[in-house]
Amino acid sequence: GADLYGADLYGADLYGQTLDKLPRAFIEACSRDILFIMEHLKAEVPFLKEKLLAGEVDGSQYEGDCACLVGSLAKGKETSVANVCSTIPYYTKGTHNPGEQWFLNIHEGDMPADNAFSKHAVSLCNQVLGLPLEDGLKVVAKIEVKEA
């Protein structure tokens, strides 16, 4: 992958990128934004974590079974995205938010085991919930049997 250190990543499609190739400042800005949102919707974070672990998040959609960060939190709260956004101080939905940029890199079917953005989002859920950062991220290794 490309070395993105120092790059302006606003609006960039980073899907499939590994976190070690991203600027630390970008990861930290996105993480702070996601944590800020989660702290205001703490009761819905377990629902978001469940959706991430099941591969049922689509960062490009606000509505539906597989929705983005605020869309999934709204679904967990059983309310509208507008209502959820109104509970977060100084927040309006859109990809100008680093947290929503982060979730744009999670597509329906992406699991934490194969998508670094999803895995990091689960770790942030765990941080808010006071759980070990790796909670739920243990993946059972598949053993391939080769025929002789």
The predicted pLDDT at position 145 comes to 52
Q: Whole-model pTM?
A: 0.82
Residue type, 51: K
Q: Residue 140 — very low, low, confident or very high, per pLDDT cuts 50/70/90?
A: very low
CA-wise closest residue to 123 among 76, 57, 58, 53: 53
What the block records as the tokens of 82 is: 């507008």
Q: Are 38 and 45 in contact (CB under 8 A)?
A: yes
Residue spans per domain, the chain: 20-129
Give the rounded percent of residues in the chain with a pLDDT score beyond 70: 81
Q: Give per-residue pLDDT as tens, 21-58.
A: 889 999 999 999 999 999 999 999 999 999 999 999 99
Give Cα separations from 123 to 103, 115, 126 (angstroms): 14, 13, 5
Cα separation of the two ends of the chain: 36
The distance of Cα 95 from the centroid of its chain, to the nearest Å, equals: 13
